[in-house]
Amino acid sequence: MSRNKRWRRPAAVAAAVLTGLAIGGGTASAAPGPGSDGAGDGYYPQDGNGGYDVADYNLTVGYDPATHQLDGVQVVTARAEQDLSSFNLDLSGLTVTSVKVNDLTAKFTRTGEHELVITPARTLSRGQKFTAEIAYNGVPKAINDPLLGANGWQYAASGGAFAAGEPKSATTWYPVNDTPRDKATFHLAVTVPDEWGVIANGREEGTTKTEAGTTHRWAESTPVVPYMTTVAIDKWEFHRSQLADGTPVVDAFAPGTSATTKAAEARLPEVLDFLSSKFGPYPVDAAGGIFLAEPIGFSLETLSRPIYSGRAGNLQTIVHENAHQWYGDSVAVQSWKDVCLNECFASYATWLWSEYNENQNLDDRYRSQVAQASDQFWAGKLYDMGPGNEFTSVYSKGPLALHALRHQIGEAAFGKVLKTWPTLHRNGNATLPEFQNYASVVSGQNLQGFFDTWFYGNTKPSAQYLYPGSLTPRT
């Protein structure tokens, strides 16, 4: 995200999912019980759920722009991680009309702000693959965030709609396990009147005409965190192309998008080539961008296809959001207190782009910003900053911390860390302390003091860590 101003390691996750899909059943234990109604994040304890691991969402939606009515059927394919008497999904508002689990009618209730509690006709055994089919409808409403404004399903002045928001978004338009810790593939079929276009994550899978209009199908085969899913409905101008390796690129521009914005997005292949040189091979199955007319309060790294505020279609924002495809999307946070792994790195990517593309001296940029920094600036934390404070200092203090780290461990070690970390944790989750440990191993340095002052602390670093290596201030 850029603002306008695991339970297991990836290989273990893959093994667990494949095991569940293969055996189709599980090992019985003593007492079946309900899955937890939260995923355990300290900042948002009721978001997400426990007791199961989702492999795929297969969502079918009909949407009428004239009435804002949405009718959906969600099919969740998952594996039970315990013997389940019941389990929860997250859904904000909207009306559930029926639920089936493994094709059998299931009971359901609604509790709290967004809990959908499902009781299958038959207990689910640990390790068992299951499907949950939820039919629902209504007029979606956004969630208001005091810092970022509307999150989730939002309406365009043109009469269209789009879904974007962080840390919450998906629950406003489909039932989901709303936690970064449960990635899944995502299939979407959206039917709208013929004059409307649809864009979403992943690859286009074609369109078909129906009595209700045109059905547009999209498929995201890269496992995705729920808030990074999106759909956008408008009278788009589509630009389609390919990267050099054949990766499909789809850009969608809302009516009235400026020529300057289109020219900036035309440089996406160059941007991705540059980011790949720093972060390793592009880790997603598609690319592109969604350029809104609405001047919402943020742009967002929706997987494979970032969504841009109507006032942010510029090259620096394009670099930032696409850097997230490595740092934030492919490698997602384990908990929201780790959000520096997303935003510090995407923000520093714009520094690296300026160094590469504009020959900017980053040491001078660093010294200038340090000289201007206030006590309030240094008080901002980059780790465990508290709920509601995630999207603040990570954009400003974060790049400084990474540039200081670059000088602390040296160019070779820093470059190796940047490039190999996303591959090490691809399609998984990670924590900032894990990144610290990895940087220490690669550099051969004990970095505890550095991370204590820059990432875990809330005061100005001492000269030892503020000006490491050749960053010593010029006199």
Give the model confidence (pLDDT) of 353-394 as tens digits: 999 999 999 999 999 999 999 999 999 999 999 999 999 999
Q: What is the CATH number of the domain that holds 377?
A: 1.10.390.10
Q: What is the CATH number of the domain that holds 229?
A: 2.60.40.1730
The predicted model gives 276-302 an average pLDDT of 97
C-alpha to C-alpha distance for 338 and 316, rounded to whole angstroms: 23
Q: Which of the residue ranges 6-15, 385-394, 397-406, 464-473 would you say has the lowest mean pLDDT?
A: 6-15
The predicted model gives 341-357 an average pLDDT of 98
Q: Are 473 and 410 in contact (CB under 8 A)?
A: no
Whether residues 224 and 194 fall in one domain: yes
Residue 29 confidence (pLDDT) above 90:
no
Whether residues 323 and 344 fall in one domain: no
**Among the three residues 295, 312, 329, which one is the final residue of a domain in this structure?**
329
C-alpha to C-alpha distance for 270 and 263, rounded to whole angstroms: 12
C-alpha to C-alpha distance for 338 and 372, rounded to whole angstroms: 27
The predicted model gives 324-334 an average pLDDT of 98
Give me the pLDDT at residue 75, please.
98
Residue 2 confidence (pLDDT) above 90:
no
Task: Tell me whether the omega of the peptide bond preceding residue 167 falls within 30 degrees of 0, making it cis.
Answer: yes
DSSP one-letter string for 428-444:
EEE-HHHHHHHHHHHHT
Position 474 confidence tier, pLDDT thresholds 50, 70, 90: confident
Position 475 confidence tier, pLDDT thresholds 50, 70, 90: low
Whether residues 316 and 345 fall in one domain: no
Residue 345 confidence (pLDDT) above 80:
yes
C-alpha to C-alpha distance for 403 and 166, rounded to whole angstroms: 26
Q: Print the domain residue range for 215.
A: 2-329
Whether residues 267 and 402 fall in one domain: no
Position 146 confidence tier, pLDDT thresholds 50, 70, 90: confident
Amino acid at 446: N
The predicted model gives 297-316 an average pLDDT of 96
- Count how many domains the chain has: 2
What digits encode the pLDDT tens for the residues 429-466? 999 999 999 999 999 999 999 999 999 999 999 999 99
Runs of H (alpha helix) within 100-159 = none
Whether residues 114 and 260 fall in one domain: yes
The predicted model gives 171-197 an average pLDDT of 98
Whether residues 437 and 403 fall in one domain: yes
Residue 7 confidence (pLDDT) above 90:
no
Q: Quote the Cα angle for 403-404-406, to 5°.
A: 65
Q: Are 79 and 16 in contact (CB under 8 A)?
A: yes
Whether residues 308 and 388 fall in one domain: no
* Whole-number average pLDDT of the chain: 93
Give me the pLDDT at residue 9, please.
37
Phi, psi of 369 (to 5 degrees): -70, -35
Q: Are 56 and 74 in contact (CB under 8 A)?
A: no
Give me the pLDDT at residue 30, please.
60
- What's the Cα-to-Cα distance from 425 to each of 325, 373, 420, 435, rounded to whole Å? 13, 34, 9, 10
Give me the pLDDT at residue 3, please.
61
Whether residues 307 and 205 fall in one domain: yes
Give me the pLDDT at residue 15, please.
37
Give me the pLDDT at residue 148, please.
78
Q: In sequence order, what are the residues at sequence separation of 6 or more whose Cβ sits closer than 8 angstroms to the Cβ of residue 223?
A: 183, 184, 185, 427
C-alpha to C-alpha distance for 41 and 112, rounded to whole angstroms: 17
Whether residues 39 and 140 fall in one domain: yes
Position 4 confidence tier, pLDDT thresholds 50, 70, 90: low
Whether residues 354 and 227 fall in one domain: no
Whether residues 266 and 390 fall in one domain: no
- The dihedral through the CA atoms of 157, 163, 166, 172 has a sign that is positive
- Closest by CA to 283, choosing from 228, 230, 353, is 228
**Among the three residues 329, 357, 374, which one is the final residue of a domain in this structure?**
329
DSSP one-letter string for 148-206:
TEEEEEEE-TTS-EEEE-SS--GGGTS-B--STT--EEEEEEEEE-TT-EEEESSEEEE
Whether residues 325 and 359 fall in one domain: no
How is residue 65 written in tokens? 């722009």
**Among the three residues 266, 301, 329, which one is the final residue of a domain in this structure?**
329
* Better-scored residue on pLDDT, 17 or 171: 171
